[in-house]
């Protein structure tokens, strides 16, 4: 006779990390009556280094958890438009595009408050919160044994929601996130600034590209200001982001006008972001990774809160089914992985491809010209602006950018802009044409010289473009097949 011993579980699902991803997942699981325990080593409310911009999709997710009903939430700063600056000059200002079923605004919400609200909502639904740092875990055929500083817990499943330096993901893959999948960023809070409270601003400068700066108002005269840059770029530039940020505030005329007499409220602090890598696992037997732990950050805009809340909900939907069926092997978790690929794969791959191009700082003049071309078209064509802005804000599916009409408009604008530039220079006299041609030749020679000096850099850059383009092509083909 065989004896079946039912294991004693401390909880059905153990979630490591109580940020937006872990807390959303816990909220949706607890709503289904599933026993959930969240383990986080930080006492809440706690700060998290962030730009604090909560995009419209995340606002919708928060509303789904009833957080939009909180009085404190309603008092947070509403953002209805976004502006882009290049080398201190305003390029374009547009309203946040309207997308059906998604609010027409974002908010800037300090994480000290936002994360606490989501966590409290989960606890109110029945999730248990435990203080402790996960050290290690083992997956057995009948459950997961997780060890933290003060003891251990046995659960049916483990969810890694422990952020961009996830212990759960590191133990699963055996390594830290690769440098190519990292953005480094710093943020600072300023008071007594002059700003338009409903306008989020992004700044690019020719010297610090591919770095980008943000100015997100937290109220009528306060703002979250920061800078982010891909870690892996070449020619490799050792940058101190804190110095870069303070320098820009000092030198960029547009930012200086806003922050000039403002005061830094606290220290400038930094944190890495882990961007999307399609090869990074999202599931394993009895294990799911959500939010930053799963690398769910859009490399183009650094946004992660919407993907954290979305992936938390999607993971909860799949786990609920697994618990009902008592099936926890990786194949049973496939619906979660499928959802990520279907809903986010194309957008993330397009962002990765664009970022892979601009990693090559030698070609900065070219990338900035392309940005200029897109902005010039967007200024005059609202439909085009909605698509370009919607993609940048993570609101519109990026495959809209691949539509024939969008690409056609971009090419036409490109030809027009380049021809106008050449004509303007020619009108200044023959010397200018020579200078223009000379400039182009020098740029070409510089790039060729650098290619000969550092062929390895160019090779891995090119390989990155090819592999990202293949990923993108795969999503395009899948989209065509699904439509067909």
Ligand X SMILES: Cc1cc2nc3c(=O)[nH]c(=O)nc-3n(C[C@H](O)[C@H](O)[C@H](O)COP(=O)(O)OP(=O)(O)OC[C@H]3O[C@@H](n4cnc5c(N)ncnc54)[C@H](O)[C@@H]3O)c2cc1C
What the block records as the tokens of 190 is 């300023």
Nearest alpha carbon to residue 282 among 231, 342, 232, 350: 342
Q: How far is the CB of 430 from ligand X (least distance, A)?
A: 49
> How far is residue 179's CA from residue 429's CA, in Å, rounded to a whole number?
48
Binding-site size, ligand X (CB under 6 A):
38
Residue 162 binding ligand X, by CB under 6 A: yes
- Nearest distance in Å: CB 442, ligand X: 36
Residue 302 binds ligand X (CB under 6 A) = yes
Least distance from C-beta 10 to ligand X, angstroms? 16
Determine if the peptide bond prior to 280 is cis (ω within 30°): no
Query: For residues 423-457, b (16+ Cβ closer than 10 Å) or e, as one string?
Result: eebeeeeeeeeeebeeeeeeeeeeeeebeeeeeeb
Task: Name residues contacting ligand X, limited to 453-472 (CB under 6 A).
Answer: none
Count CA atoms closer than 13 A to 198's CA, side-chain side.
Answer: 9
Lay out the site mask for ligand X across 12-51 (x = CB under 6 A, - = otherwise).
----xxxxxxx----------------xxxx-----xxxx
Sign of CA pseudo-dihedral 360, 364, 367, 371: positive
Q: Are strands 11-16 and 287-289 parallel, antiparallel or unpaired?
A: unpaired
Stretch that binds ligand X, among 162-170, 234-242, 248-256, 411-419 (CB under 6 A): 162-170
Whichever of 16 and 91 has its CB closer to ligand X, that residue is 16
Helix axes 20-31, 305-325, angle to 10 degrees: 40
**Which secondary-structure segment (H or E) carries 373?**
helix 364-380
Q: Residue 170 interacts with ligand X (CB under 6 A)?
A: no
Percent helix / strand / coil, the chain, rounded to 5: 50, 20, 30
- Tell me the residue length of the chain: 484
How far apart are CB 170 and ligand X at their closest, in Å? 9
Choose one: 150-158, 257-265, 285-293, 401-409; the region binding ligand X (CB under 6 A).
Answer: 285-293
* CB of 196 vs ligand X, minimal distance in Å: 18
Check residue 102 and report its DSSP letter: B
Instruction: Give 272 or 397: the residue with its C-beta nearer to ligand X.
Output: 272
Closer to ligand X by Cβ: residue 78 or 436: 78
Judge contact between 113 and 74, C-beta under 8 A.
no
- Min dist. Cβ of residue 452 to ligand X (A): 37
Is 225 near ligand X (CB under 6 A)? no
Select from 279-287, 303-311, 405-413, 470-478 the region that touches ligand X (CB under 6 A): 303-311
Q: Which is nearer to ligand X, 130 or 402 (CB)?
A: 130
Could you give the C-alpha distances from 50 to 173, 246, 304, 416, in angstroms and in order?
Answer: 26, 17, 10, 39
* Closer residue to ligand X in complex, CB, 131/433: 131
Measured from the CB of residue 231, what is the shortest distance to ligand X in angstroms? 12
Q: Among 193, 297, 387, 401, which residue sits at the site for ligand X (rule: CB under 6 A)?
A: 297
Ordered DSSP codes for 106-121: EEE--HHHHHHHHHHH
Q: In whole angstroms, how close is the CB of 335 to ligand X at the nearest point?
A: 20
SS3 category, 31? helix
Q: According to the binding rule CB under 6 A, does residue 163 interact with ligand X?
A: yes
The yes or no reply on residue 389 touching ligand X (CB under 6 A) is no
Strand partners, 288: 159, 283
Taking residue 483's Cβ as centre, other Cβ atoms within 10 Å add up to 6
Please tell me whether the peptide bond between 355 and the residue prior to it is cis, using omega within 30 degrees of 0: no
CB of 148 to ligand X, least distance (A): 7
Nearer to ligand X, 298 or 471 (CB): 298
Residue pair 358/367 in contact (Cβ under 8 Å)? The answer is: yes
Decide if 258 contacts 195 (C-beta within 8 A).
yes
The Cα 65–Cα 67 span in angstroms is 6
Window of 66-74, 84-92, 286-294, 461-469 that interacts with ligand X by CB under 6 A: 286-294
Q: With binding defined as CB under 6 A, does residue 392 bind ligand X? A: no
Of residues 84-143, those binding ligand X (CB under 6 A): 133-134
Q: How far is the CB of 184 from ligand X (least distance, A)?
A: 8
Closest distance of CB 371 from ligand X, Å: 20
Judged by CB under 6 A, the residue of 12, 180, 292, 347 near ligand X is 292
Kindly tell me which residue out of 304, 389, 390, 397 binds ligand X, with binding defined by CB under 6 A.
304
* Interacting residue ranges for ligand X, rule: CB under 6 A: 16-22, 39-42, 48-53, 133-134, 161-163, 167, 185, 187, 226, 271, 273, 291-293, 297, 302-306, 308
């Amino acid at each position: 006779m065989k004896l079946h011993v039912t294991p004693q579980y401390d909880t059905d699902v153990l979630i490591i990390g109580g940020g937006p991803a872990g807390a959303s997942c816990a909220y949706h699981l607890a709503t289904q009556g599933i026993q959930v325990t969240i383990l986080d080593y930080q006492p809440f409310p706690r700060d998290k280094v962030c730009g604090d911009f909560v995009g419209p999709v995340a606002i919708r997710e928060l509303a789904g958890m009833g957080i939009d009903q909180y009085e404190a939430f309603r008092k947070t700063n509403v953002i209805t438009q976004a502006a882009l600056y290049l080398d201190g000059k305003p390029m374009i200002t547009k309203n946040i595009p309207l997308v059906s079923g998604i609010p027409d605004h974002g908010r800037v919400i300090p994480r000290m408050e936002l994360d606490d609200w989501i966590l409290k909502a989960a606890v109110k639904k029945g999730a248990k919160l435990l203080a402790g740092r996960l050290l290690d875990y083992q997956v057995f055929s009948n459950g997961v044994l997780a060890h933290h500083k003060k003891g251990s817990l046995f659960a049916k499943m483990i969810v890694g929601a422990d952020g961009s330096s996830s212990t759960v993901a590191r133990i699963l893959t055996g390594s830290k996130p690769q440098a190519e999948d990292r953005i480094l960023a710093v943020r600072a809070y300023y008071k007594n600034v002059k700003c338009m409270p409903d306008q989020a601003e992004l700044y690019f400068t020719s010297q610090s590209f591919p770095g980008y700066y943000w100015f997100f108002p937290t109220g009528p005269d306060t703002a979250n200001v920061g800078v982010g840059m891909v870690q892996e770029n070449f020619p490799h530039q050792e940058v101190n982001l804190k110095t870069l940020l303070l320098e820009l505030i000092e030198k960029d005329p547009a930012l200086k006008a806003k922050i000039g007499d403002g005061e830094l409220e606290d220290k400038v602090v930094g944190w890495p972001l882990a961007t999307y890598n399609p090869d990074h696992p999202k599931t394993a037997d009895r294990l799911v990774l959500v939010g930053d732990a799963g690398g769910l950050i859009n490399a183009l805009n650094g946004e992660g809160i919407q993907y954290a809340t979305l992936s938390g909900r999607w993971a909860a939907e799949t786990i609920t089914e697994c618990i009902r069926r008592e099936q926890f092997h990786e194949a049973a978790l496939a619906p979660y992985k499928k959802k990520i690929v279907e809903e986010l794969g194309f957008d993330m791959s397009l962002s990765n491809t664009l970022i892979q191009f601009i990693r090559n700082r030698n070609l900065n003049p070219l990338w900035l010209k392309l940005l200029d071309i897109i902005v010039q078209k967007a200024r005059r064509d609202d439909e085009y602006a909605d698509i370009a802005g919607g993609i940048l804000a993570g609101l519109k599916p990026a495959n809209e950018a691949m539509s024939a009409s969008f690409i056609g408009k971009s090419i036409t604008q490109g030809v027009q802009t380049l021809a106008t530039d050449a004509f303007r220079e020619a009108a200044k006299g023959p010397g200018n044409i020579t200078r223009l041609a000379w400039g182009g030749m020098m740029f070409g020679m510089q790039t060729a010289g650098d290619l000969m000096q550092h062929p390895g850099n160019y090779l891995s850059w090119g390989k990155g473009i090819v592999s990202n383009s293949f990923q993108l092509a795969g999503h395009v083909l899948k989209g065509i097949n699904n439509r067909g």
